Amino acid sequence: DAGVIQSPRHEVTEMGQEVTLRCKPISGHDYLFWYRQTMMRGLELLIYFNNNVPIDDSGMPEDRFSAKMPNASFSTLKIQPSEPRDSAVYFCASSPRDWYEQYFGPGTRLTVT
């Protein structure tokens, strides 16, 4: 398996623009997680899905952030409008049904100028 795939790997955008981050989990994994990593706040869980259904979105910072999982092999995290404070590395992770550990993608480094 190719592991968790994220795209793009790097994204530079201007404040106010819409940003869409993409994730393909490992086939057969029922859980999908979105994290944000910054120097100031460390690794934060934003939202997670079970069988394509959002279970806990309490970590989503504000209404500018939204996440979807239209099918078992694809998820998006959207920021609209983007702000400089959204600059971070965004990780997607997936885990199997009887999960204990999570498998992380390589991350998307987002820079908002």
Partner 1 sequence: AQSVAQPEDQVNVAEGNPLTVKCTYSVSGNPYLFWYVQYPNRGLQFLLKYITGDNLVKGSYGFEAEFNKSQTSFHLKKPSALVSDSALYFCAVRRAGANNLFFGTGTRLTVIP
Q: Which residues sit at the interface with partner 1, rule CB under 8 A?
A: 4, 31, 33, 42-43, 45, 48, 50, 55-56, 91, 93, 100-107
Q: Measured from the CB atom, is 42 or 70 closer to partner 1?
A: 42
At 58, list the tokens. Answer: 């309490």
Q: How far is the CB of 46 from partner 1 (least distance, A)?
A: 11
Q: How far is the CB of 48 from partner 1 (least distance, A)?
A: 6
The span from the CA of 77 to the CA of 14, in Å, is 17
Strand ordering across the sheet containing 74-79? 5-7, 19-24, 74-79, 65-71
Q: Measured from the CB atom, is 62 or 101 closer to partner 1?
A: 101
